[in-house]
């Protein structure tokens, strides 16, 4: 590797870092704009939409304008999806906590079943945003698609889960990482792996429809 290529790689790396920091700031600002509770979902969708365009090497004239446009466009639909996921997560957590505390074989079997459901729920959470920015579906269909994509790509799902756990751990242990680049970098990892998985499913689906 010559000095020119190394310099170019360093330049590109620094540009991406600056962009991720800027995107991280926008995510926090627009989350606060929605009073946090109503701002998290549309801000995350907007963040993922910007990153998807980066991965597709499409020109983004203004990151702020695109972020604001996607935030407004998906405000209602993304919050409806987030509310559904929140309710599902609460039910799974409540049921698991309830049956784990009970004795008896039947309760143990139910606890095991709910534990499996919790793993499926985590898989859906991992793929829900790459699925959302890739497809135009009814809001409840995203849950189904995210689950199928995650189950069809087990190695990628496991690898992404490990990477996300590491990023969450670092962000909680070092708050400065969370505030500077933690959110945008975490979702960039999700988008890199998730979009490839989604595209793979789309190709398989197209091949199936042709047969």
Which position has the token pair 């400065």?
176
What is the pTM (predicted TM-score) of this model?
Answer: 0.92
Which pLDDT score, from 0 to 100, does residue 3 have?
58
Residues composing the chain:
211
pLDDT over 80 at 202, yes or no = no
- Lookup: tokens for 160: 């992404």
Q: Say how far apart CA 93 and CA 89 lie, in whole Å.
A: 6
Contacts of 57 (CB under 8 A, 6+ apart): none
pLDDT above 70: percentage of residues in the chain: 95
Confidence of residue 4 (pLDDT cuts 50, 70, 90): low
The model's pLDDT over 41-55, given as tens digits with 9 standing for 90+, comes to: 999 999 999 999 999
Lowest mean pLDDT among 19-23, 91-95, 205-209: 205-209
Residue pair 161/175 in contact by the 8 Å Cβ criterion: no
Classify each residue of 76-94 as buried b or exposed e, where b means 16 or more C-beta atoms within 10 Å of its C-beta.
ebbbebbeebeeeeeebee
Which position has the token pair 């360093």?
10
Alpha helices, DSSP H only, in the chain?
3-33, 40-55, 63-73, 75-100, 105-134, 141-152, 154-173, 175-177, 183-210
């Amino acid at each position: 590797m010559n000095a020119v290529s190394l310099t170019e790689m360093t330049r590109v790396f620094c540009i991406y870092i600056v962009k991720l920091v800027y995107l991280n700031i926008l995510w926090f600002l627009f989350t606060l704009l929605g009073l946090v509770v109503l701002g998290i979902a549309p801000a995350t969708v907007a963040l993922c939409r910007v990153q998807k365009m980066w991965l597709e090497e499409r020109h983004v004239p203004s990151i702020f304008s695109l972020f604001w446009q996607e935030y407004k466009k998906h405000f209602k639909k993304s919050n409806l999806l987030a509310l559904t996921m929140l309710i599902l997560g609460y039910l799974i957590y409540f049921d698991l906590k309830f049956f784990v505390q009970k004795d008896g074989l039947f309760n143990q079997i139910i606890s095991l079943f709910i534990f499996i459901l919790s793993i499926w729920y985590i898989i859906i959470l991992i793929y829900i945003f790459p699925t959302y920015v890739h497809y135009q579906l009814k809001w409840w269909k995203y849950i189904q698609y995210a689950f199928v994509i995650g189950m069809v790509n087990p190695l990628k799902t496991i690898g992404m889960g490990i990477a996300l756990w590491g990023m969450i751990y670092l962000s909680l242990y070092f708050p400065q990482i969370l505030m500077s680049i933690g959110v945008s970098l975490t979702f960039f990892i999700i988008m890199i792996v998730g979009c490839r998985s989604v595209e793979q499913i789309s190709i398989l689906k197209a091949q199936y429809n042709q047969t």
